Structure 1
Amino acid sequence: MAHINNGSYTAINWNNIEDELDKATWEKLTQQFWLDTRIPISNDLKHWRGNMSDQERETMNLVFGGLTTLDTLQSQDGMAQLKLDAINQKEEAVLNNIQFMESVHAKSYSSIFETLNEKAEIEKIFDWADTDEFLQFKAHRINDIYQTGTALQKKIASVFLETFLFYSGFYTPLYFLGHNKMLNVAEIIKLIIRDESVHGTYIGYKFQIGFNQLSEEEQTELQTWMYNLLYELYENEEKYTHELYDEIGWTEQVLTFLRYNANKALMNLGQEPMFPDGADDVNPVVMNGLSTSTANHDFFSGVGNGYLLGEVEALDDDDYKKWL
């Protein structure tokens, strides 16, 4: 996006707002700012070493390796490509914020690995993530769209990544949280989910603006492309989920959770759901973990997502609909 007009470089002016949701989202994201260094991950070492089975530790390590890969994709390529299509400077500023927080998310997983694992174990996790067939398929498929797709196709890919594909990994820490395990690790994941909720809804809103400007024929063509992409990604995600969860016995529960979140991604894009699964079909222990309320950390033991941040909740669907 160029900011040079008639030889003059244009300064961003937040007193001249083209879209009120840009300002509202900027304020929400800056209120939610956090860093992994403020969460006492080491407090989970006792659970990690004494209350977790080898299979549980292996599953968590692998899903976090996968999430690191996808957050790296989003921070290095996804937001950079979406910024090229920004329609005003404030939208670009919001995407800058999102890009930075995706880097924070990716770095957070390394902090978890460093706290819980030895160096050789960490290297094994990253070797697996860099070579796993199903993880690499979805990373490459999404990035191909970022590099070659239209502006609206890139937004679809971004929403599918953040509101759907991340959740095969989020299931594990949310499940453990529901069983009172790895509470500080889960706190980081809840902070990430809170961010992703805003990211997916904001980018979905921007998609809907562009989508509504298309002809009926163009809308139908794009919808066909969108649903075909989602089905392709779900087919791969089924294989990825079997690979991660068959041994621990959670596969079917995770697939239900994925279908529920695929529908949420479509809702963010203003589209009809593809799967019959709803919130009532998801493991209630995991659904409870999706709440982004503040954890009960005190000042000395650590900080929860309410410390120095105020009472912050993600913008809900109605906040976005009123601007469409």
Structure 2
Amino acid sequence: MANTYYEAINWNEIEDVIDKSTWEKLTEQFWLDTRIPLSNDLDDWRSLSEQEKQLVGYVFGGLTLLDTIQSENGMERLREDARTPHEEAVLNNIQFMESVHAKSYSSIFTTLNTKAEIDDIFEWTNTNEYLQKKAERINEIYKNGSPLQKKVASVFLETFLFYSGFYTPLYYLGNNKLANVAEIIKLIIRDESVHGTYIGYKFQLGFNELSEEEQEEMKNWMYNLLFELYENEERYTEQLYDDIGWTEEVKTFLRYNANKALMNMGQDPLFPDGANDVNPIVMNGISTGTSNHDFFSQVGNGYLLGTVEAMNDDDYLIGLDN
């Protein structure tokens, strides 16, 4: 009998049921930006000040950079430490959707901005010291960190660092503006909540195998990294939001989501900020259901995707066994 050279993945023999339930949830949620009529937001866009338009462009530029890291480097590095072949498949799905996320921001730019404005956005993104610092720090961990450190970096990126950018479209959604742009952001948030929870779960499996001393060492490293990232994120937030007056509200939102990232990994929250401390307009933006328009009708009923679910506070700790 010939020796096995390569083993086929067998979805009928599941080592970890969370792999299967996550795969099913992610495929059920599949979406594409091309199905959302962003041009319907042009009237709202024209009503914004030049300062607000620049803010929207810059936050989406920053989000594009972070999603690019996840799609090009992050998931590839996490795959190296997969515990099961099914986990590798889930990470493949996540990697593809991170590419969809990054591409979605360009669809927004194409709809709302001129070519000169788009060039300015990407020039700003690719040279901003705070954006580049967090990109370099996260990517350095992806390249040189331990399997658990890489998972921490990924969860911090998806459940914490994205939210300085998400605040802006959620604020406008809460004020009944840019509803279609916000649909994309809500779909991305829905994906990221699963990504962060799944990778946080995989972190917990490895963390629980450590000795007590090793666990304490890992926790110290994790909280020190969070402080480092938060300090940089404060500067980034000040640069983006000082002129428009939202800085302190965004920092509260960041601290709230930093706690969510820690909780995804089974750790104690660090900051005192809870949902009630976040601007209720933004929380309303998260919790608002899908807009009334049927944005898949352009391709007929044959194109069936998961419904855009209402984002409640509990969705950050989404139950993967549902």
Unaligned runs of 5+ in 2: none
Q: CA deviation at 1:298?
A: 2.4
Q: Paired residue for 1:42, among 39, 44, 63?
A: 39
How many residue pairs are counted as aligned between the two chains?
314
- Give how far 1:210 is off: 0.3
Q: Please give the per-residue CA displacement for 1:8-48, whole angstroms capped at 9, x wherever unaligned.
A: 21111100000001000000000000000000001111111
Deviations 1:288-317 (A, max 9, x none): 2223733321268769xxx82344658774
Alignment match of 1:129 (pick from 106, 120, 125)? 125
Letter matched to residue 123 of structure 2: D
Q: How far has the Cα of 1:319 moved from its partner?
A: 2.9
**Following the alignment from structure 2 to structure 1, what is the Cα–Cα distance between the partners of residues 207 and 234?**
29
Q: 2:157 aligns with which of 142, 146, 161?
A: 161
- Give 1:140's aligned residue: 136
Partner of 2:257: 261
Residue 17 of structure 2 is matched in structure 1 by 20
* One of 51, 59, 63 as aligned partner of 2:55: 59
Stretches (4+) displaced over 6 A: 300-303
Distance 1:160 1:34 in 2: 24
Residue 282 of structure 1, aligned match among 275, 278, 284 = 278
Give 1:75's aligned residue.
71
Change over 3 Å in CA distance of 1:301–1:13 after alignment to 2: closer
Q: Is the 8 A contact 1:194 1:292 kept in 2?
A: no
Q: Distance in 2 between matches of 1:23 and 1:112?
A: 33
Cα distance between partner residues in 2 of 1:316 and 1:167? 12
Q: 2:189 is matched with which residue?
A: 193
Tell me what 1:180 maps to. 176
1:294 corresponds to: 290
Tell me the distance in 2 between the aligned counterparts of 1:311 and 1:120: 36
SS at match of 2:319: helix
Q: Which residue of 2 aligns with 1:151?
A: 147
Using the TM superposition, give the Cα deviation of residue 216 of structure 1 relative to its aligned residue in structure 2, in angstroms. 0.2
Partner of 1:97: 93
Report Cα offsets for 1:55-112 as digits up to 9, x if no partner: 1111100000000000000000000000000011100000000000000000000000
2:316 aligned with 1:308: no
CA distance in 1, matches of 2:115, 2:228: 36
Corresponding position of 2:319? 319
Are the aligned partners of 1:175 and 1:285 in contact in 2 as well (CA < 8 Å)?
yes
Alignment CA distance shift 1:299-1:180 (3 Å):
closer
SS at match of 1:290: helix
- CA gap 1:22/1:312 in 2 versus in 1, 3 angstroms: farther
Q: Which residue of 2 aligns with 1:30?
A: 27
Distance in structure 2 (CA, Å) of the matches to 1:8 and 1:56 = 57
Equivalents in 1 of 2:118, 2:307: separation in Å? 35
Match of 1:206 among 177, 197, 202: 202
Q: Judge which range, 208-217 or 290-299, deviates more.
A: 290-299
Q: Matched residues in 2 for 1:282 and 1:312: separation?
A: 23
Query: Could you tell me which amino acid in structure 1 is paired with residue 213 of structure 2?
Result: E
Does structure 1 retain, via aligned residues, the 8 Å contact 2:35–2:295? no
Distance 1:310-1:110 versus aligned 2 partners, 3 A rule = closer
Q: Is the 8 A contact 1:38 1:302 kept in 2?
A: yes
Bigger mean CA offset, 308-317 vs 157-166: 308-317
Distance 1:246 1:82 in 2: 36
What are the Cα deviations for residues 218-274 of structure 1, in whole angstroms up to 9, with x where unaligned?
000000000000000000000000000000000000000000000000000100011
Q: TM-score, normalised by structure 2?
A: 0.93
In the alignment, the residues of structure 1 paired with residue 230 and residue 152 of structure 2 have an alpha-carbon distance, to the nearest angstrom, of 14
